[in-house]
Structure 1
Amino acid sequence: MSVSVVRRIASPKKALTTVALAAATAGLAMTAAPAHAATPASPSKAQAIAHRMIPDAAQYNAFSHIVKHESNWDVDATNASSGAYGLVQALPGSKMASAGSDWKTNAQTQIKWGLDYMNSRYGSPVGAWNFWQANGWY
Protein backbone atom coordinates (compact mmCIF):
# COMPACT_ATOMS: atom_id res chain seq x y z
CA MET A 1 0.00 0.00 0.00
CA SER A 2 1.42 3.38 -0.92
CA VAL A 3 2.01 6.22 1.55
CA SER A 4 -0.37 8.50 -0.31
CA VAL A 5 -3.23 6.06 0.15
CA VAL A 6 -2.57 5.85 3.88
CA ARG A 7 -2.45 9.67 4.17
CA ARG A 8 -5.85 9.96 2.51
CA ILE A 9 -7.44 7.82 5.19
CA ALA A 10 -8.91 10.13 7.83
CA SER A 11 -8.37 8.22 11.05
CA PRO A 12 -5.54 5.99 12.31
CA LYS A 13 -8.14 3.31 13.10
CA LYS A 14 -9.18 3.21 9.45
CA ALA A 15 -5.52 3.06 8.42
CA LEU A 16 -4.94 0.06 10.67
CA THR A 17 -8.08 -1.63 9.38
CA THR A 18 -7.02 -1.01 5.78
CA VAL A 19 -3.51 -2.36 6.39
CA ALA A 20 -4.88 -5.38 8.24
CA LEU A 21 -7.35 -6.05 5.46
CA ALA A 22 -4.60 -5.77 2.85
CA ALA A 23 -2.37 -8.13 4.84
CA ALA A 24 -5.19 -10.60 5.34
CA THR A 25 -6.06 -10.49 1.66
CA ALA A 26 -2.43 -11.09 0.72
CA GLY A 27 -2.26 -13.93 3.22
CA LEU A 28 -5.40 -15.51 1.84
CA ALA A 29 -4.04 -15.23 -1.67
CA MET A 30 -0.86 -16.97 -0.59
CA THR A 31 -2.68 -19.80 1.16
CA ALA A 32 -5.08 -20.21 -1.73
CA ALA A 33 -2.25 -20.70 -4.22
CA PRO A 34 -2.34 -24.16 -5.80
CA ALA A 35 -0.24 -26.78 -4.10
CA HIS A 36 2.32 -28.74 -6.06
CA ALA A 37 0.79 -31.74 -7.75
CA ALA A 38 1.27 -34.95 -5.83
CA THR A 39 4.00 -37.09 -7.25
CA PRO A 40 3.21 -40.78 -7.55
CA ALA A 41 4.84 -43.04 -5.00
CA SER A 42 7.97 -44.89 -6.05
CA PRO A 43 7.63 -48.67 -6.25
CA SER A 44 9.44 -49.09 -2.92
CA LYS A 45 7.17 -46.53 -1.22
CA ALA A 46 4.08 -48.21 -2.66
CA GLN A 47 5.33 -51.58 -1.36
CA ALA A 48 5.94 -50.10 2.11
CA ILE A 49 2.42 -48.65 2.13
CA ALA A 50 0.96 -52.02 1.12
CA HIS A 51 3.00 -53.80 3.79
CA ARG A 52 1.57 -51.48 6.45
CA MET A 53 -1.95 -51.99 5.14
CA ILE A 54 -1.59 -55.79 4.83
CA PRO A 55 0.22 -57.04 7.94
CA ASP A 56 -0.44 -60.74 7.27
CA ALA A 57 2.61 -62.08 5.38
CA ALA A 58 0.72 -64.55 3.17
CA GLN A 59 -1.87 -61.95 2.14
CA TYR A 60 0.81 -59.32 1.50
CA ASN A 61 2.87 -61.76 -0.60
CA ALA A 62 -0.16 -62.69 -2.70
CA PHE A 63 -1.09 -59.03 -3.18
CA SER A 64 2.52 -58.22 -4.03
CA HIS A 65 2.73 -60.98 -6.66
CA ILE A 66 -0.39 -59.67 -8.39
CA VAL A 67 0.78 -56.05 -8.34
CA LYS A 68 4.25 -57.05 -9.55
CA HIS A 69 2.71 -58.84 -12.54
CA GLU A 70 0.05 -56.23 -13.25
CA SER A 71 1.96 -52.95 -12.91
CA ASN A 72 5.44 -53.64 -11.53
CA TRP A 73 4.39 -51.40 -8.60
CA ASP A 74 3.95 -48.39 -10.90
CA VAL A 75 1.14 -46.19 -9.53
CA ASP A 76 0.45 -44.63 -12.92
CA ALA A 77 0.87 -47.75 -15.05
CA THR A 78 -1.57 -47.77 -17.97
CA ASN A 79 -2.34 -50.73 -20.19
CA ALA A 80 -2.23 -49.32 -23.71
CA SER A 81 -4.70 -51.84 -25.14
CA SER A 82 -7.33 -52.02 -22.39
CA GLY A 83 -6.86 -48.74 -20.52
CA ALA A 84 -6.51 -50.54 -17.17
CA TYR A 85 -4.80 -48.23 -14.70
CA GLY A 86 -2.70 -48.17 -11.56
CA LEU A 87 -1.06 -50.67 -9.26
CA VAL A 88 -3.91 -53.18 -9.49
CA GLN A 89 -4.86 -52.34 -13.13
CA ALA A 90 -8.45 -51.34 -12.43
CA LEU A 91 -10.62 -51.26 -15.54
CA PRO A 92 -11.64 -48.56 -15.91
CA GLY A 93 -9.22 -46.84 -13.56
CA SER A 94 -11.91 -44.42 -12.45
CA LYS A 95 -13.50 -47.27 -10.45
CA MET A 96 -10.85 -46.50 -7.84
CA ALA A 97 -12.51 -43.13 -7.17
CA SER A 98 -14.76 -45.04 -4.76
CA ALA A 99 -11.68 -45.36 -2.51
CA GLY A 100 -10.63 -41.71 -2.85
CA SER A 101 -10.57 -38.76 -5.20
CA ASP A 102 -6.77 -39.01 -5.40
CA TRP A 103 -6.93 -42.45 -7.03
CA LYS A 104 -4.75 -41.43 -9.99
CA THR A 105 -1.66 -40.66 -7.91
CA ASN A 106 -2.08 -42.09 -4.41
CA ALA A 107 -0.71 -45.59 -3.83
CA GLN A 108 -2.65 -45.96 -0.59
CA THR A 109 -5.95 -45.21 -2.34
CA GLN A 110 -5.15 -47.69 -5.11
CA ILE A 111 -4.10 -50.35 -2.61
CA LYS A 112 -7.27 -49.82 -0.56
CA TRP A 113 -9.41 -50.21 -3.66
CA GLY A 114 -7.44 -53.28 -4.79
CA LEU A 115 -7.77 -54.95 -1.40
CA ASP A 116 -11.51 -54.25 -1.31
CA TYR A 117 -11.84 -55.69 -4.81
CA MET A 118 -9.80 -58.82 -4.02
CA ASN A 119 -11.64 -59.40 -0.76
CA SER A 120 -15.10 -58.96 -2.28
CA ARG A 121 -14.47 -60.96 -5.47
CA TYR A 122 -12.02 -63.66 -4.31
CA GLY A 123 -12.27 -63.63 -0.52
CA SER A 124 -8.71 -62.37 -0.03
CA PRO A 125 -5.52 -61.48 -1.88
CA VAL A 126 -4.50 -65.16 -1.60
CA GLY A 127 -7.74 -66.14 -3.33
CA ALA A 128 -7.08 -63.52 -6.02
CA TRP A 129 -3.51 -64.80 -6.51
CA ASN A 130 -4.72 -68.40 -6.81
CA PHE A 131 -7.18 -67.28 -9.48
CA TRP A 132 -4.48 -65.23 -11.22
CA GLN A 133 -2.12 -68.23 -11.33
CA ALA A 134 -4.82 -70.40 -12.89
CA ASN A 135 -6.04 -67.80 -15.40
CA GLY A 136 -3.31 -65.22 -15.95
CA TRP A 137 -5.65 -62.42 -14.81
CA TYR A 138 -7.89 -61.64 -11.88
Structure 2
Amino acid sequence: MHDPILDRTLRRVRAERVRDHRRRGGVTAAVGTTLAAAVLAGGVYLGQHSVPGERVLVATAADGVRMTVTATPADGWLRLRADLDGIDPGERCELVVTDTAGRRYLAGGWVASRGEDTSVTGAVVVDPRDLAAVSVVTTDGRTLVTATAR
Protein backbone atom coordinates (compact mmCIF):
# COMPACT_ATOMS: atom_id res chain seq x y z
CA MET A 1 0.00 0.00 0.00
CA HIS A 2 1.21 3.38 -1.04
CA ASP A 3 0.33 6.57 0.68
CA PRO A 4 0.63 9.38 -1.89
CA ILE A 5 0.65 12.11 0.76
CA LEU A 6 3.51 10.43 2.65
CA ASP A 7 5.48 9.90 -0.57
CA ARG A 8 5.05 13.55 -1.57
CA THR A 9 6.08 14.75 1.91
CA LEU A 10 9.19 12.54 1.91
CA ARG A 11 10.21 13.80 -1.57
CA ARG A 12 9.79 17.41 -0.41
CA VAL A 13 11.91 16.81 2.73
CA ARG A 14 14.66 15.15 0.67
CA ALA A 15 14.62 18.00 -1.87
CA GLU A 16 14.90 20.61 0.90
CA ARG A 17 17.84 18.76 2.46
CA VAL A 18 19.66 18.66 -0.87
CA ARG A 19 18.94 22.36 -1.46
CA ASP A 20 20.19 23.30 2.06
CA HIS A 21 23.32 21.22 1.57
CA ARG A 22 24.07 22.88 -1.78
CA ARG A 23 23.41 26.34 -0.32
CA ARG A 24 25.82 25.71 2.58
CA GLY A 25 28.40 24.34 0.18
CA GLY A 26 28.08 27.45 -1.97
CA VAL A 27 28.55 29.76 1.02
CA THR A 28 31.57 27.77 2.19
CA ALA A 29 33.09 27.93 -1.28
CA ALA A 30 32.43 31.68 -1.53
CA VAL A 31 34.02 32.35 1.87
CA GLY A 32 37.00 30.15 1.03
CA THR A 33 37.49 31.88 -2.32
CA THR A 34 37.27 35.32 -0.71
CA LEU A 35 39.81 34.42 1.98
CA ALA A 36 42.19 32.95 -0.58
CA ALA A 37 41.91 36.08 -2.72
CA ALA A 38 42.57 38.32 0.31
CA VAL A 39 45.66 36.34 1.32
CA LEU A 40 46.97 36.39 -2.24
CA ALA A 41 46.33 40.14 -2.61
CA GLY A 42 48.04 40.81 0.74
CA GLY A 43 51.04 38.76 -0.32
CA VAL A 44 51.27 40.59 -3.64
CA TYR A 45 50.97 43.95 -1.85
CA LEU A 46 53.68 43.06 0.65
CA GLY A 47 55.87 41.68 -2.09
CA GLN A 48 55.60 44.92 -4.04
CA HIS A 49 55.89 47.28 -1.08
CA SER A 50 58.32 45.70 1.34
CA VAL A 51 62.00 46.46 1.19
CA PRO A 52 64.69 44.00 2.25
CA GLY A 53 65.68 44.82 5.81
CA GLU A 54 62.63 47.01 6.41
CA ARG A 55 61.48 46.83 10.01
CA VAL A 56 58.14 47.57 11.62
CA LEU A 57 58.12 48.62 15.28
CA VAL A 58 54.85 48.83 17.23
CA ALA A 59 54.15 50.21 20.69
CA THR A 60 51.24 51.33 22.86
CA ALA A 61 51.83 53.45 25.96
CA ALA A 62 49.86 52.99 29.17
CA ASP A 63 47.86 56.17 28.46
CA GLY A 64 46.76 54.90 25.02
CA VAL A 65 49.25 56.63 22.70
CA ARG A 66 49.87 54.19 19.83
CA MET A 67 52.69 54.17 17.31
CA THR A 68 53.64 52.01 14.34
CA VAL A 69 57.00 52.88 12.79
CA THR A 70 58.29 51.58 9.48
CA ALA A 71 62.07 51.91 9.30
CA THR A 72 63.37 51.55 5.75
CA PRO A 73 67.13 51.12 5.37
CA ALA A 74 69.08 53.25 2.94
CA ASP A 75 72.85 53.35 2.42
CA GLY A 76 73.98 53.92 6.03
CA TRP A 77 70.84 55.77 7.12
CA LEU A 78 67.11 55.22 7.79
CA ARG A 79 63.87 56.52 6.35
CA LEU A 80 61.08 56.54 8.91
CA ARG A 81 57.31 56.64 8.73
CA ALA A 82 55.47 56.81 12.04
CA ASP A 83 51.70 56.37 12.23
CA LEU A 84 50.43 57.74 15.55
CA ASP A 85 47.19 57.92 17.45
CA GLY A 86 46.16 59.15 20.89
CA ILE A 87 48.34 62.25 21.18
CA ASP A 88 46.56 65.27 22.65
CA PRO A 89 45.80 68.02 20.11
CA GLY A 90 48.30 70.86 20.16
CA GLU A 91 51.07 68.72 21.70
CA ARG A 92 54.46 69.68 20.22
CA CYS A 93 56.27 66.42 19.45
CA GLU A 94 59.55 65.10 18.09
CA LEU A 95 60.39 61.74 16.57
CA VAL A 96 63.59 60.56 18.25
CA VAL A 97 65.73 57.57 17.23
CA THR A 98 68.03 55.85 19.71
CA ASP A 99 70.92 53.73 18.45
CA THR A 100 72.46 50.67 20.13
CA ALA A 101 75.12 52.89 21.78
CA GLY A 102 72.37 54.97 23.45
CA ARG A 103 72.85 58.07 21.28
CA ARG A 104 69.66 59.94 20.38
CA TYR A 105 68.90 61.55 17.01
CA LEU A 106 66.09 63.88 16.02
CA ALA A 107 64.23 62.53 12.97
CA GLY A 108 61.33 65.00 12.74
CA GLY A 109 58.87 67.20 14.58
CA TRP A 110 55.21 68.27 14.42
CA VAL A 111 52.25 69.62 16.35
CA ALA A 112 49.52 67.02 16.98
CA SER A 113 46.27 67.71 15.13
CA ARG A 114 42.83 67.80 16.64
CA GLY A 115 41.07 64.44 16.56
CA GLU A 116 43.14 62.96 13.76
CA ASP A 117 45.58 60.12 13.42
CA THR A 118 48.97 61.47 12.43
CA SER A 119 51.58 60.19 9.98
CA VAL A 120 55.06 61.62 10.29
CA THR A 121 57.99 60.93 8.01
CA GLY A 122 61.60 61.55 8.77
CA ALA A 123 65.14 60.45 8.20
CA VAL A 124 68.14 59.91 10.40
CA VAL A 125 71.80 59.12 9.82
CA VAL A 126 71.91 55.90 11.83
CA ASP A 127 73.12 52.63 10.39
CA PRO A 128 70.04 50.41 10.04
CA ARG A 129 71.80 47.65 12.03
CA ASP A 130 72.22 50.07 14.97
CA LEU A 131 68.54 50.97 15.38
CA ALA A 132 67.51 50.34 19.01
CA ALA A 133 64.31 52.37 19.47
CA VAL A 134 62.06 55.10 18.12
CA SER A 135 60.25 57.42 20.54
CA VAL A 136 57.80 60.29 20.48
CA VAL A 137 59.05 62.93 22.90
CA THR A 138 57.35 66.24 23.65
CA THR A 139 59.41 69.42 23.31
CA ASP A 140 59.31 69.73 27.12
CA GLY A 141 61.01 66.31 27.45
CA ARG A 142 58.15 63.88 28.22
CA THR A 143 58.35 60.53 26.39
CA LEU A 144 54.87 59.64 25.12
CA VAL A 145 55.63 56.25 23.55
CA THR A 146 58.69 54.17 22.65
CA ALA A 147 58.92 51.29 20.19
CA THR A 148 61.99 49.10 20.58
CA ALA A 149 63.71 47.23 17.78
CA ARG A 150 64.26 43.54 18.32
Do the structures match in fold with TM over 0.5?
no
Flag the structure with higher strand content. Answer: 2
Name the TM-score class by shorter chain: 0.3 to 0.5
